Structure 1
Amino acid sequence: MNEVGPIAYLTGEYPRATDTFIQREVAALRALGLQVETCSIRRTDPSHHVGPEQRAEAERTFHVLEAAKNPMRLLGAHVRLFAQNPKRYFGALKQAWDTRAPGGKAALYQMIYFAEAGLLARHMQNCGITHLHNHIAAASCTVAMLASKLSGIPYSFTLHGPDIFFEPHRWRLDAKIASARFVACISHFCRAQAMNFSESAHWSKLHIVHCGIEPERYTPCARTRGKEVLFIGRLAGVKGVPVLLDALRALQKDHSDLRFTFIGDGPERAMLEARAKEMGLADITDFVGYKSQAEVAIALKNTDIFVLPSFAEGVPVVLMEAMAAEVPVVTTHVAGIPELIEHGVHGLLTPPGDSASLANAIALLLSDPNGAARMGKAGREKVSAEFNIALEGAWLAEILAHYHESPTPDLPVRRTT
């Protein structure tokens, strides 16, 4: 794989607790012999670095905004890029202007992205980068697109959702797909959305590359099938936690010994803790904040059921982690989740926003330990075969190598198993 040359990885913030799947992907590519230089627009607050792996990654990552604080470095980068190729420089400036969102504020931000792109472009040239890959198709992908134009280094990006699909025109998803060498879509649902917002001429370069986990991190263990229930995720509106609290209150009558742990943090944590207290759930709920990958693995060993009541998702990596640990899962039937979980086989799917259905699904697993164990085993088999980061990393490396040799999109949509 070394023939691809050094690759730059860019996202808005790297590394951070909520995006460990990017860190795993980088590690998988490095394990295959690729040189990956990580870049981040902003420096993540140290509170989001959980464990020594993330702290080490933060130390070796190039931070664009920090570099931009040196005005001479910023100006020097753009002067050099202009001197190298004035036509290409003005072409990138035109691209920035043409892909801006409506309004004066959006135009200002677009020029900021252009300024950041110049710094990134020069950094990549200095490092001998041959390809740029971005995760999350919003602001950082705009920087990636412009840096690619400024430097002449091709780029690609991983498309996740759901947020980008709420505002595809603002973020000019069509232009990003058109200008990218290829797009890695995390699910068939995601790819269909990309097809919806792009011209059919570009559909053949939309490939499915799953986010993945390391199954060996999550050793299955014998469970007593008690009443320990776990949620892991960002404590924000999209995760549907108030619906889960309503379900817990309904379950409390028949399951007084139920215990529920919330791993994660976010803008609604204080409100959710207060709401749990008001609902009389303080004694059975525990909000413990962010945890490292190792701590999450331990928590999954000690739980009986995993619940994720989201309103919108891509394909949640945290569900993969629970399944790898043979924990039966209850989640919602939205977006790409049904591609991961078949109802009644790998877990239970409920309508989003329906607390009664959520409570019934949790109660069903509590009352059927044999069925819960069966779903747990089937879940581990599913993620080991289809969401294993070693396999997904190898598939992404194959895509990178193919497009490095030829921009012709004649690869299959999905890796063959």
Structure 2
Amino acid sequence: MSGPLSRPTDRPADELTDEPTTGPVEAPVRVLWLAKGLGRGGAEQLLLNCARHADRSRYRIEVAYVLPWKDALAPALTEAGVTVHCLGGTPGTPGRADPRWPLRLRRLLAERRYHLVHTHMPVPAAAARVLAPTLAGPAPRLVHTEHNVWERYRPATRWANALTYRRNDAVIAVSHAVARTVPPGRRRPGEWVTVVHHGPDLAGAPGGPAARAAARAELGLPDGAFVVGTVGNLTPKKDQATLLAAHAALLRRHPGARLVLIGTGPLEDRLRARAGELGIEDAVLLTGSRPDVPELLPALDVFTLSSRQEGLPVALMEAMTSGLPSVVTRVGGMPEVLDDGEQGFLVPPGDPAALADAFARLAEAPELRTRLAAAARERAERFDVAGAQRAVEAVYARVLRH
């Protein structure tokens, strides 16, 4: 990491201001946040966190999403005062999204006449960039947040992004690692990418011995076990298969250890089978999707991510805020917020031996865990969701002035 992070973006101070803008758009500014789904993934959780801290005197925010079965966070957004639109069919309906969703998006844009559309996933973002110029009257300004490195996108998605990207009025990246993957040739002349490190929203989250005991009871974990846990979708990029191999190695040194995987995804059955093949199924708990992650984090001794690719995972920020030492792979934006040996350990991706060695080191040194936990909590205080939302709104103000 190049140095301490004291603000949610590293842009010069004269490019970030909390002063009110005197642009041509009068309050309330109508803003649409456009996402692929509203499941429990990190990018979706950011929408909810930011919605709770948006400047409602200045911005009237609505959310639209494409995949009707990914709607877990829709009720929380509604509770936060945000109008939610499902473009792909009836909310909660399994299966494919209605292919007419771009037509519904265009109708929504025409009817609601948003001043600004803030996109969060590449496919709906490309659709918005194509549709916005076709509307009668002034087209909405377009802001896009990059949550992942471009290399992760499928070829068709990458091409759709590349062909439409110059229509963005501004781009926000969740980490410097993500920002570096945006091809300069796809930006408008003179355009810069704003890096905003988002923090979690865990105000009032439980902690201490009572919270630890309650969380372990909820998960059925032994009081004295050394517990490593992770939170994330069960997908190839998260590489939980390597994590299982690492846990098998850890158990040879610490037979009472437990591994907790919180999340769901297409690889769930395969990972259960792999745990059985390794003979560690009794030491591995797959919880499925959980709405109470902040309440479960105190059950862990160590948080981990074995990802092969990341932008800047919300789960890591939540773990650090909860005062957990972390062992994560040296990918994406994770080295920007966690210093090796200071708040936890960074290991190479796809290396179960390195993961197991780091886990064993922490299992054998409670005082080291305590030191790293305190440093993690201190570092996490620099990442404030309210400050991140102010930085995003500063981008809005800039593009609306022009």
The answer to whether TM tops 0.5 is yes
Q: Structure 2: which 5+ runs fail to align?
A: 1-19, 21-25, 91-97, 213-222
Cα deviation code 1:252-287 (max 9, x no counterpart)? 122111111111011110111111122111111111
Q: Is the 8 A contact 2:150 2:182 kept in 1?
A: no
Q: TM-score of the superposition, structure 2-length normalised? A: 0.80
Preserved CA contact (<8 Å) 1:134 1:140: yes
Tell me which residue corresponds to 1:11. Answer: 35
Aligned match of 2:218: none
Matched residue SS, 2:377: helix
CA, structure 1 residues 215+116, in 2 after alignment: closer, same or farther (shift >3 Å)? closer
* Change in CA separation of 1:246 and 1:32 when aligned onto 2, cut-off 3 Å: farther
Give the equivalent residue in structure 1 for 2:261: 262
- 1:399 is displaced (CA, Å) by 1.3
Matched AA of 1:10: L
Tell me the residue number matched to 1:37.
62
Count of residues paired in the alignment: 355
CA 1:335–1:17 in 2, change beyond 3 Å: closer, same or farther?
closer
Equivalent position to 2:166, from 168, 171, 178 = 178
* Partner secondary structure for residue 355 of structure 2: helix
Question: Which residue of 2 is the match for residue 24 of structure 1?
Answer: 49
Larger mean CA deviation between 121-130 and 352-361 belongs to 121-130
After TM superposition, the structure 1 = structure 2 runs for residues 68-83 of structure 1, keeping only pairs within 5 Å, are none
More displaced, 257-266 or 120-129? 120-129
Instruction: Please give the TM-score of this superposition, normalised by the length of structure 1.
Output: 0.78
Name the structure, 1 or 2, with higher relative contact order (CA <8 Å, separation 6+): 2
Which amino acid letter does the alignment assign opposite residue 146 of structure 1?
V
Compute the displacement of 1:246 (Å).
Answer: 1.0
Match of 1:130 among 106, 115, 118: 115
Residues 154-198 of structure 1: CA distance to partner in whole angstroms, max 9, x if unpaired? Answer: 211101113655457743434443111100111111111114453
Counterparts of residues 302-381 of structure 1 (less than 5 Å): 302-381=299-378
Percent of paired sites with the same residue = 25
Matched, 1:194 2:182: yes
Equivalent AA in structure 1 for residue 227 of structure 2:
E
Letter matched to residue 201 of structure 2 = E
- Rate the CA distance shift 1:176–1:374 in 2: closer, same or farther, 3 A: farther
| Equivalent pair of 1:15/1:58 in contact (CA under 8 Å) | no
The 2-side partners of 1:301 and 1:220 are apart by 6
Matched, 1:395 2:391: yes
CA distance in 1, matches of 2:180, 2:390: 23
- In structure 1, the residue corresponding to 2:233 is in which secondary structure? coil
Change (3 A) 1:225 1:391: farther
2:349 maps to a residue whose letter is P
For residues 128 and 74 of structure 2, what CA distance do their matches in structure 1 show? 28
In structure 2, do the counterparts of structure 1 residues 116 and 381 end up closer, same or farther at CA, with 3 Å as the change threshold? same
Instruction: Measure the CA separation in 2 of the matches of 1:337 and 1:256.
Output: 30
Tell me the C-alpha RMSD between the 2 structures.
Answer: 2.8
Deviates more, 1:5-14 or 1:171-180: 171-180
* CA shift for structure 1 position 28: 2.1
Would you tell me which structure has more helix in proportion to its own residues?
Answer: 1
1:81-118, CA deviations, whole angstroms, 9 ceiling, x for partnerless residues?
xxxxxxxxxxxxxxxxxxxxxxxxxxxxxxx98x6444
Structure 1 segments unaligned to the other structure (5+ residues):
68-111, 407-417
2:86 is the counterpart of 1:63: yes
Residue number among 104, 124, 130 corresponding to 1:140 in the alignment: 124
The 3 A distance-change label for structure 1 pair 12 and 57 is farther
For residues 227 and 87 of structure 2, the distance between their equivalents in structure 1, rounded to whole angstroms, comes to: 43
